[in-house]
């Protein structure tokens, strides 16, 4: 399996620091990952996405159309729309069910994408875990600035709990902006002294909207999808006049103690590499449980390339195993409203 795993516990910090200098970048990614990275660099990567409305419009054209294979991903699963008050989501339900629910939140820079666009990831998680996946939609910027998305995700989670799912039966999973949203949700639930979800998994989470992570500069020429200037412009579109370093919109600045177990996956050449590393460090320093795997030279949100890229399959299978272990104590199957 590509990448290197940083296990739970305080000793992981020393292992992590050693691995940074001696192991990263020493293993070659699959030819499939390299081919997709080249294609993404040629088709998607651009110096400027424009500002606010122009940026959102372009991002929605590039990222917002469901992948051509998206409908195939859901074959064999029951797909059911959820519309309840302000809650908008999609259920993906496998035929053979195990207890527990995967609460999935899509990425898209806070300005684009939907449950439909990210159906390849959600469907893969439904199949691999044999659990219901609740894939959440939320308001997008710049029409609805942050923290509107955080409010919508919290409302969807509250609706799920009120519908019969116990928090210990829920695994939070998100990619990119969605990784930000599930980490922020876990922090909010802790601060409210609410029952914690079973676990949190985040793929390449965008945790610092200030763009201060060192990898934003260090990987400027290596990232297949984004330039550093893009991160600034996406953040401006998402925030408007809001401050980028407030804990709710940039969870790397939140107090990260007493969270459920966290799994982080990120690519070695991504601008967001250190957004994941810094969260991992802070959780470990707070005596929490965090596991970080860095995959070599994969494009941002490579899990969308399941099942075509080996690293996508490896990431999602490891996440499914993490969810299985975390939900092992779940006893009942919550109803679907």
Annotated catalytic sites, by residue? 176, 270, 300
DSSP summary character for residue 253: G
Cα–Cα nearest to 211, from 229, 194, 189: 229
CA 306/CA 309 separation, integer angstroms: 6
Cα–Cα nearest to 16, from 280, 314, 264, 296: 280
Contact, 32 vs 40, CB < 8 A? no
Q: Map tokens 């044999």 to a residue.
A: 130
CA 2/CA 132 separation, integer angstroms: 28
CA 314/CA 72 separation, integer angstroms: 20
3-class secondary-structure state, position 101: strand
Number of H helices, E strands in the chain: 11, 9
Other Cβ atoms less than 10 A from the Cβ of 38: the count is 12
Burial zone of 241 (CB within 10 Å; 0-12 exposed, 13-18 middle, 19+ buried): exposed
CA 119/CA 20 separation, integer angstroms: 33
3-class secondary-structure state, position 134: strand
Q: Which two tokens stand for residue 248?
A: 């709710």
Say if strands 170-175 and 132-137 run parallel, antiparallel, or are unpaired. Answer: unpaired
């Amino acid at each position: 399996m590509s990448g290197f795993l940083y296990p739970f516990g305080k000793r992981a910090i020393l292992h992590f620091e050693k691995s940074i200098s001696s192991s990263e970048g020493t293993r070659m990614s699959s030819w499939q990952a390299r081919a997709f990275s080249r294609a993404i660099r040629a088709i998607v990567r651009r110096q400027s996405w424009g500002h606010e409305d122009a940026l959102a419009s372009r991002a929605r054209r590039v990222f917002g159309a469901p992948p051509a294979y998206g409908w195939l991903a859901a074959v064999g699963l029951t797909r059911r729309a959820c519309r309840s008050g302000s809650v908008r989501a999609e259920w993906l339900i496998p035929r053979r069910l195990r207890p527990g629910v995967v609460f999935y939140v899509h990425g898209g820079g806070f300005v684009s994408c939907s449950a439909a666009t990210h159906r390849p990831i959600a469907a893969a998680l439904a199949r691999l875990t044999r659990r219901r996946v609740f894939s959440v939609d939320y308001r997008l910027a710049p029409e609805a600035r942050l923290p509107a998305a955080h409010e919508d995700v919290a409302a969807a989670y509250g609706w799920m709990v009120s519908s019969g799912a116990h928090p210990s039966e829920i695994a939070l999973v998100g990619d990119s902006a969605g990784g930000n949203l599930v980490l922020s949700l876990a922090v909010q639930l802790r601060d409210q002294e609410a029952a914690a979800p079973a676990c949190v998994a985040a793929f390449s989470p965008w945790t610092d909207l200030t763009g201060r992570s060192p990898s934003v500069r260090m990987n400027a020429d290596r990232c297949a999808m984004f330039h550093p200037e893009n991160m600034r412009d996406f953040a401006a579109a998402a925030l408007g006049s809001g401050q980028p370093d407030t804990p709710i919109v940039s969870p790397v600045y939140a107090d990260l103690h007493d969270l459920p177990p966290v799994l982080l996956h990120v690519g070695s050449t991504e601008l967001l590499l250190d957004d994941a590393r810094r969260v991992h460090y802070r959780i470990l320093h707070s005596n929490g449980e965090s596991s970080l795997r860095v995959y070599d030279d994969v494009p941002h949100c490579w899990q969308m390339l399941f099942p075509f890229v080996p690293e996508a399959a490896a990431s999602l299978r490891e996440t499914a195993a993490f969810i299985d272990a975390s939900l092992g104590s779940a006893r009942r199957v919550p109803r679907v409203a």
